[in-house]
Amino acid sequence: MAFRITTAVGAFALMTLSAISAFSAGDPLAAVPAARTDTTTIIVGSANFPESQLLATIYAKALAAKGIAVDTKLNIGSREVYIPALLDGSIDLLPEYAGAALSYLDKNAAAHSPEDVAKALKAALPTGISILTPSTAQDSDSVAVTRATAEKYKLKTIADLAPVASEFVLGGSPEWKARKEGVIGLKEIYGLEFRSFKALDVGGPLTLSALVNGQIQAANLFSTDPAMAANDLIALEDTKNLFPAQNIVPVIATQKLSDVVAKTLNAVSAALTTHDLVLMNGRLANHESFDVVAGDWLAQYQLN
């Protein structure tokens, strides 16, 4: 079994430079042929936050257990970077969040249910890219506030922010400012204009700390983050369906698909639950390694 974990550093940045340039020119689906000679190894990529890196590690270890040659390029960056990397052949497989991927590929997508989002995402994928069976596990975006803020302003839904948004600083990842399922959607769908937006990280410690310490009053955090309960934070109800279903789904270069690959990844999706993600994210927060947490989960479901 060939299995090796690496990080996405300078060499990988050079590999994806042409793809990033294509995206910057305005076409997120523009693909540039990659100078890659290895056609057998499946390179598994991930976004730049721990849950994505963990899921990529689970995929890689599950495939390696079936004798498939795999390599990983973790912590690549945001969707604006890793989708071009998938398209230019720098990576072959990654864990995606169905609703966010759909919104990226189709700016006018209106699907919200898991079934509709999966169907629309399959149709929106560029030639040469496939999705496998989505998991029931979801990691959904949320607009979160502290319990003290929720009680002071009687906040239960995102819409309840309307009278006070102009007094609030909203925090989230830099990309969230320009995304439909972010600041743009909060304005277009809910009519919310915040006092300012503070660019932090992808639902990580910077965003959490800023919210808990009062530097921001609302934040983009995620449903599988154990810090939500640990810090008594409130996810405001999304009554107008700004955030589509975010089922986790393997996205793969079609040429790398085989019966064994599909069966292996679909078995991972079938076993994975939202509760599993909460527990595993909690272990990562306690500084356990991706390797150990992924290996334990695979052993739990006899997938290794």
* One domain for residues 214 and 147: yes
Place of tokens 């699907």: 111
In this predicted structure, which of 31-35, 62-66, 98-102 has the lowest mean pLDDT?
31-35
- Residue at 241 is within a domain: no
Report how many domains make up the chain.
2
Q: What is residue 180's predicted lDDT score, i.e. its pLDDT?
A: 85
58 and 132 in a single domain? The answer is yes
Asked whether residue 240 is domain-assigned, the answer is no
Q: Is the pLDDT of residue 77 over 60?
A: yes
Q: Kindly list the distances between the CA atom of residue 157 and the CA atoms of 143, 153, 161, 187, 206, in Å, as whole numbers in the listed order.
A: 9, 11, 7, 15, 24
Q: Are residues 109 and 215 in the same domain?
A: no
- Same domain for 221 and 275, yes or no, is no
191 assigned to some structural domain: yes
Least reliable range by pLDDT among 93-97, 157-161, 185-189, 274-278: 274-278
Name the more confident of 258 and 39. Answer: 258
| Residues 173 and 206 occupy one common structural domain | yes
Same-domain status, 51 and 113: yes
pLDDT surpassing 60 at residue 63: yes
Q: Is residue 33 part of a domain?
A: yes
Look at the block and give the residue holding tokens 């995620």: 222
What pLDDT does 16 receive?
Answer: 35
* Residue 127 sits in the same domain as residue 179: no
Q: Judge if 161 and 206 occupy the same domain.
A: yes
End-to-end CA distance of the chain: 12
Whole-number pLDDT of residue 38: 65
Q: What is the pLDDT of residues 249-269, one digit of tens each?
A: 999 999 999 999 999 999 999
Q: What is the pLDDT of residue 36?
A: 54
Last residue of a domain, one of 235, 259, 290: 235
**Which structural domain range is residue 205 located in?**
141-235
Determine the pLDDT at residue 202: 87
For residue 265, give the CATH number of its domain: 3.40.190.10
Can you give the CATH number for the domain in which 176 is found? 3.40.190.120
Cα(102)–Cα(86) distance, integer angstroms:
15
- State the pLDDT at residue 37: 58
Same domain, 86 and 42: yes
The pLDDT-based confidence of 244 (bands split at 50, 70, 90) is confident
For the chain, give me the number of helices (H) and strands (E)? 12, 11
Residues 45, 27, single domain; the answer is yes
* Residue corresponding to tokens 């695979």: 298
Write down the pLDDT at residue 241: 82
Tokens of 2: 């060939």
192 falls within a domain: yes
Among left, alpha and beta (phi > 0; psi -120 to 50; other), residue 165 is: alpha
